[in-house]
Amino acid sequence: MQVFKVIIKTIRKNLHVLSIYLVVFVFFLILMSSLQTSEGSTTFSEVKRSVMIINKDSGNVIADAFADFMKKSSIPIAPVETEEEMLDALFNEEADYILVIPEGFSKDFLSGSHTVQLEQQSVAGSRGAVWTDMKIRKYLDLLRLYTELSDVDANDTEAIAKLSAQVETQMNKETKVVYPTGVQKEKESSVPYFSKFMAYSLMAITILGVGTILKLFTGRDFKNRLRCSPEKTSSVNLQLVLGNLCFAFTAWAVMTLVCLSFGLKDGLKLWVWVLVLNSLVFMITTLCMSVVIGLVVKNENVRTFVANVVALGSSFLSGIFVPIEFQSETVRKIAGFIPAFWYVKAVEEAKNLTSYAWSDIQPIAAYMAIQLGFGVAFICVAMAVSREKSRHSI
Amino acid sequence: MFWNIFGYRMKSNVRDFSTLFWTLAFPLFLATFFGLVFPNITSSTVTFETVNVGFYENSAYGGDPYLLESLKSAKQSEGIDLFHVTVFESIEASEEALNNQEISGYAEVAEEVVLHMQGSGFNQTIIKSFFDQYAQISSAIRDVARDNPAALEEVSALFEKEVNYTTSTFAGRDKPDSILVYFYSLIAMTCLYGAFQGQKEIMNIQANQSQLAARQNVSPVPKLKLFGSSILSVTLVQYLSILILLAYLVFVLRINIGDRIGMILAAAFAGCCLGISFGALVGAVVKAGEGIKVAIIISFSMILSFLSGMMQSSVKVAIEKAVPVFKYALPGNLIANTFYAIYYFNSNERFYFGMALMIGISIFFYTIVILVLRRQKYASI
């Protein structure tokens, strides 16, 4: 097992470079799991928007009740003090809408003149702005209806409070919502998300690792030294395949374990194991792709460059970093030629599995088969390249 | 002699394709991917699009003549409808349209309105919000009519009068667009990749690191002159790379990174100096082979790019929220935030602060490099 030992030695020597991608992966998982807070439900849950409410007219019933309503019906964001912090919150999408209730708003509203307007900062025409504007209009239209038809005195706080309470009661009236049979909302698990990101790190590590091994074994001196050794060519090749496979499998196993341990809190359902199988298939395809890259690219710098371009490029185009449904038709068509695209499609399909009949699993199996098809194609290319190179060796 | 060495270093740096791969070709590749993927995100996730909704009225029910009319006439803003309404003749047809995702939901109108939805997305929320509002206002009108029947006549006049409750006070210089975070982090990454150049130049003036350096060290040229000319040439090459990237972003990909060209060029230069000085520091301080130095630079620039939001813009927000000092302490975030300040803020405070920090850190790194390199003698190489 001389050849196998050399492979292990080579990997160990380059472990520091390869581990960068593992560190990035673990870092990502830690960050993302700390960000995830959403809870599932079996009934309709409104998609709420984050609104920063700054009430400069506090102490007045109208402004206070309105601010309370907005806080209850949105995801309230803690108010900030400076204008720049408000702009930051808007840019970073921490707040979809910044609502300032100016001083004198309540008094002006009751007078019916509506000259003191609410101050808002949002991205015009955005979903957050449309949603929040609807909420504001909904509440204030109702309040206007009550105040203007009841001729309430602006100084009669008790009567104003009663009106606000009436508005509040009306606001609690909701339309009944039903889901088609079989549609049950569940808490979204983080495992599919992690599983998708894993593909990026797996691609980078495998291309770099396999490239390093192949660079050594396809080097002229090393190859000639092997040829004059008593080791049979078939044995050398077998050990080479085994070594690469062991390396890729170890990288996959470590990442899968990390991924599963982070997703453990969401429960390991049956479809999680489908994801694991899918990632194993993707690992095989990536390994085949890495062999082609390793055979073609000899320069170490260029190899790192190719590893990054392939890993990052595939990740962006195939929906690992950015969901595929947000991408243009052209990008989707291009992405069809990338194995990672089919990997992501299988992940998306698997996470929605509720039953495991063949008809449910069939699309996932088809996506895995496409990935393996890519693998076979890569092996064919690798064999052709290898054959061509052996003609010119020595 | 200074300009002589500078000229040769320039030639050498321009012909160093393996380094140019990283500092020029790689960012251009990534920019192309970003350009392909991101423009659509802004339109589909952020911008509101008219919601497709179905409407089925049970024939046994007398009906509400205003409901369908209100649904059709609801506006998101001037000239933009809130809903695109499809009226169905049967519940089966409505269900089929829902299953085929032609509509986000449909309303079944009988004695009461029942909404049929698939999922709880944004469109479904808007549909529900509209029907809730309709039900609430109808109920409020009944409420008022019960207490004061005479007031009922005023209701229609009241709703005819459109009141604008809000006014925009947005004080930013340009429209917020979180997608820009990806492009800022790309610029930051390119600046940080200047570290490869800085490391290489330091290696070329340390006699124990390369043959070229050994040759240069025996020549009667002061080390400071060697250092100065090398760093100047590499800064120029790296700055050109960044300018090519910026031009590609602005003119080819049509990314709006702001209109203050002078400030953008200055920030690019400061970022470039920061990256190169970091590489020079690694080259001078780390007593190891080139491989280890390159690995350190790759690791740092990769992790710093990740933290500045290159793979997920939310990572940058989360990290800066958790540790606010990282906004300026992490070089990637510092460069990205300086570009962000140019694009987004009318006031120049953040820009000047970012610039001062980038230049300050670069001077600090170069000072360490000079202190390490000066009077270095080699007894044996």
Which residue out of A123, A162, A188 would a mutagenesis test of the B interface target, given it has the greatest number of B Cβ atoms within 10 Å? A123
For residue range A321-336, what is the model confidence (pLDDT) as tens digits? Answer: 877 777 777 888 888 9
| Shortest distance, CA A82 to any CA of chain B (angstroms) | 12
Q: How many CB pairs under 8 A join A and B?
A: 265
B116·A180 Cβ contact <8 A: yes
For residue range B71-93, what is the model confidence (pLDDT) as tens digits? Answer: 888 877 777 788 999 988 888 88
Phi-psi region of A268 (alpha: psi -120 to 50; beta: other; left: phi over 0): beta
> Rounded to whole angstroms, how far apart are CA atoms B334 and A274?
42
Number of Cβ within a 10 Å radius of residue A257: 10
Copy the structure tokens of residue B198: 């800085």
On the 0-12 / 13-18 / 19+ scale of CB atoms within 10 A, A393 is exposed
Q: Does residue B366 share a domain with residue B245?
A: yes
| B17 belongs to a structural domain | yes
Q: Does residue B120 share a domain with residue B265?
A: no
| Shortest distance, CA B334 to any CA of chain A (angstroms) | 15
Q: Residue A36 — very low, low, confident or very high, per pLDDT cuts 50/70/90? A: low
Taking every pair of Cα atoms in chain B, the longest distance, rounded to a whole number of angstroms, is 107
Partner A contacted by B42 (CB < 8 A): no
CATH code of B147's domain: 3.40.190.10
The CA angle A239-A243-A245, to the nearest 5 degrees, is: 115
Of residues A129, A109, A126, the one with CA closest to residue A117? A109
B148·A100 Cβ contact <8 A: no
Q: What's the Cα-to-Cα distance from A115 to each of A70, A105, A210, B354, rounded to whole Å? A: 21, 9, 70, 41
> Rounded to whole angstroms, how far apart are CA atoms B333 and B338?
8
Give the model's pLDDT for residue A51: 94
Of residues B26, B30, B6, the one with CA closest to residue B255? B30
On the 0-12 / 13-18 / 19+ scale of CB atoms within 10 A, B100 is exposed
* Residue B58 pLDDT greater than 90, yes or no: no
Q: What is the interface pTM, i.e. ipTM, of the complex? A: 0.80
What's the mean pLDDT in A231-254? 87
Q: What's the Cα-to-Cα distance from A339 to each of A72, A129, A294, rounded to whole Å? A: 45, 38, 18
- Cβ-count burial B305-342 (b if 16+ within 10 Å, e if not): bbbbbbbbbbbbbbbbeeeeebbbebbbbbbbbbbbbb
Q: Does residue B198 share a domain with residue B343?
A: yes
Give the model's pLDDT for residue B184: 93
For residue range A97-114, what is the model confidence (pLDDT) as tens digits? Answer: 999 999 999 888 888 888
Please name the residue of chain B whose CA is at the shortest distance from the CA of residue A17.
B295
Which residue did the predictor score with more confidence, A178 or B186?
A: B186
Residues 225-254 of A with CB under 8 A from B: none
Residues 153-172 of A with CB under 8 A from B: 166-167, 170-171
Partner A contacted by B353 (CB < 8 A): no
B158·A148 Cβ contact <8 A: yes
Q: Does residue B327 share a domain with residue B187?
A: yes
Secondary structure (3-state) at B217: helix
| B93 belongs to a structural domain | yes
Lowest model confidence (mean pLDDT) among A150-159, B239-248, B252-261: A150-159
Give the model's pLDDT for residue B306: 84
Provide the percentage of residues in chain B whose pLDDT is more than 90: 30
Q: Which amino acid is at A56?
A: K
Residue A372 host element (H or E): helix A358-391
Give the model's pLDDT for residue A43: 54
Give the model's pLDDT for residue A98: 94
- Residue where one domain finishes, among candidates B106, B131, B160: B160
**Domain total of chain B:** 2
Structural domain boundaries, residue B113: 50-160
What's the mean pLDDT in A25-52? 66
User: Strands B113-117, B105-109: parallel, antiparallel or unpaired by DSSP?
Assistant: antiparallel
Which residue did the predictor score with more confidence, B314 or B353?
A: B353
| B143 belongs to a structural domain | yes
Partner B contacted by A200 (CB < 8 A): yes
- Helices B223-247 and B26-41, packing angle to 10 deg: 30
Q: Does residue B311 share a domain with residue B278?
A: yes
A177·B114 Cβ contact <8 A: yes
Contacts with A145 from chain B: Cβ below 8 Å: 137, 140-141, 144, 155, 158
Q: Residue B40 is nearest to which of A90, A127, A328, comparing CB atoms? A: A328
> Rounded to whole angstroms, how far apart are CA atoms A170 and A145?
12
Mean pLDDT, chain A, rounded, equals: 83
| B165 belongs to a structural domain | no
* Residue B319 pLDDT greater than 90, yes or no: no
Q: Does residue B299 share a domain with residue B245?
A: yes
Lowest model confidence (mean pLDDT) among A36-45, A188-197, B254-263: A36-45
- Residue where one domain finishes, among candidates B160, B187, B214: B160
* Residue A182 pLDDT greater than 70, yes or no: no
Q: Does residue B36 share a domain with residue B55?
A: no
Q: Does residue B56 share a domain with residue B34?
A: no
Q: Does residue B85 share a domain with residue B17?
A: no
| B222 Cβ contact partners less than 8 Å away, ≥ 6 residues apart | none
Secondary structure (3-state) at A74: coil
Q: Residue B117 is nearest to which of A16, A44, A321, comparing CB atoms? A: A44
> Rounded to whole angstroms, how far apart are CA atoms A106 and A66?
10
Contacts with A317 from chain B: Cβ below 8 Å: 33, 36-37
| B237 belongs to a structural domain | yes
Q: Does residue B281 share a domain with residue B204?
A: yes
| B253 belongs to a structural domain | yes
Copy the structure tokens of residue A198: 């894993």
Contact A144, B158 (CB under 8 A): yes
Q: Does residue B266 share a domain with residue B152?
A: no
Lowest model confidence (mean pLDDT) among A297-306, B100-109, B184-193, B276-285: A297-306
Secondary structure (3-state) at B264: helix
The structural domains of chain A, ordered by start, are: 2-38+186-391 (no CATH), 50-171 (3.40.1710)
Q: Does residue B212 share a domain with residue B189?
A: yes
Contacts with A305 from chain B: Cβ below 8 Å: 21-22, 25-26
| A105 Cβ contact partners less than 8 Å away, ≥ 6 residues apart | A57, A60, A62, A63, A116, A118
| Shortest distance, CA B220 to any CA of chain A (angstroms) | 34
Q: How far is CA A261 from the centre of its chain?
A: 18
| B146 belongs to a structural domain | yes
For residue range B163-174, what is the model confidence (pLDDT) as tens digits? Answer: 889 999 998 898
Give the model's pLDDT for residue B363: 96
| B168 belongs to a structural domain | no
Phi-psi region of A93 (alpha: psi -120 to 50; beta: other; left: phi over 0): left
What's the mean pLDDT in A58-73? 90
- Residue where one domain finishes, among candidates B130, B160, B190: B160
| B144 Cβ contact partners less than 8 Å away, ≥ 6 residues apart | A145, A146, A149, A150, B151, B152, B155
Residue ranges of alpha helices (H) inside B161-312 are 180-203, 211-218, 223-247, 261-285, 290-307
